[in-house]
């Protein structure tokens, strides 16, 4: 059993914002496994795959970003999974745009969605796949930046980053260790 959660905001108006990088990457994971988001459960849209005989749940919370932990907690309970079998994909302002970083644990940093996840599940010990969004050329308040749309000139860069994040999540779901995935994807 493995659970992959892509953080974002559920409304259409947020679809192409920086804060929805996790949602986009979760969609890419589902595509890699040939499944679609067909169910609503645990306050999330859910796709279910079978990978090497193991169930893999891919989820996009229907809560807003700051309450993402509610959905993650419910998913872990429903599927009787432990945080060690969880990967959360999300945008990270602390990383330069277009880069991805995988970590086996850690704090929430500046990310309110991750603060919610950590608070709800009671641990920092789960895998994070972070998609960098920091743009040194943009100087606006963080809350305005994360809710702004990706510039057309950066679109391909972020599509590629979400794809690499999805590839990393897929490798974890296939049973590769976090350390192996970090070596392969943390550039």
Start-end of H helices in 11-154: 21-32, 68-78, 112-121, 142-146
Check pLDDT > 90 for residue 141.
Answer: no
Higher pLDDT, 123 or 146: 123
Q: Report d(CA 63, CA 150) in Å as an integer.
A: 22
Q: Looking at residue 110, what is its pLDDT? A: 82
* Tokens coding 54: 């193991």
Q: Report d(CA 137, CA 126) in Å as an integer.
A: 32
Contact status, residue 39 vs residue 28, Cβ threshold 8 Å: no
Structural domain including 70 reads: 2-185
Q: Looking at residue 172, what is its pLDDT? A: 97
Q: Report d(CA 141, CA 181) in Å as an integer.
A: 33
Catalytic residue among 19, 73, 97, 164: 19
Reading phi first (left if > 0) and then psi (alpha if -120 to 50, else beta), residue 53 is in: left
Higher pLDDT, 143 or 45: 45
Q: Report d(CA 36, CA 13) in Å as an integer.
A: 21
Q: Can you name the residues that pair with 91 across neighbouring β-strands?
A: 131
Q: Can you name the residues that pair with 94 across neighbouring β-strands?
A: none
In the chain, the number of structural domains is 1
| Mean pLDDT of the region 121-134 | 96
Q: Using alpha carbons only, what angle is made at residue 7 by residues 127 and 24, rounded to the nearest 5 degrees? A: 105
Q: What is the percentage of the chain residues whose pLDDT exceeds 90?
A: 85
Active site residue 19: yes
Check pLDDT > 80 for residue 187.
Answer: no
- Chain center to CA of 165: 8
Check pLDDT > 90 for residue 147.
Answer: no
Length of the chain: 187
pLDDT in tens, 59-105: 999 999 999 999 999 999 999 999 999 999 999 998 999 999 999 99
Chain mean pLDDT for the chain: 94
Check pLDDT > 70 for residue 56.
Answer: yes
Please list, in sequence order, all residues whose beta carbon lies within 8 angstroms of the beta carbon of residue 99, skipping any fewer than 6 positions away.
Answer: 131, 132, 161, 187
Check pLDDT > 90 for residue 43.
Answer: yes
Q: Looking at residue 109, what is its pLDDT? A: 84
């Amino acid at each position: 059993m493995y659970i992959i959660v892509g953080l974002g905001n559920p409304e259409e108006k947020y679809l192409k914002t920086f804060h929805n990088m996790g949602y986009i990457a979760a969609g890419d994971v589902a595509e890699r496994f040939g499944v679609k988001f067909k169910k609503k459960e645990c306050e999330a849209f859910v796709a279910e795959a079978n990978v090497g005989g193991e169930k893999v749940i891919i989820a996009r919370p229907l809560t807003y970003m700051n309450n993402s932990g509610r959905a993650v907690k419910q998913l872990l309970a429903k599927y009787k999974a432990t945080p060690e079998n969880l990967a959360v994909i999300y945008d990270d302002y602390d990383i330069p745009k277009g880069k991805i970083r995988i970590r086996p644990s850690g704090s929430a940093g500046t990310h309110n969605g991750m603060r919610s996840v950590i608070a709800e599940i009671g641990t920092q010990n789960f895998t994070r796949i972070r998609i960098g969004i920091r743009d040194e050329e943009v100087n606006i308040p963080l809350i305005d930046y994360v809710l702004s749309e990706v510039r057309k000139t950066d679109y391909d860069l972020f599509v590629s980053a979400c794809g690499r994040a999805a590839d990393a999540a897929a490798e974890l779901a296939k049973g590769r260790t976090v350390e192996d995935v970090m070596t392969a994807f943390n550039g």
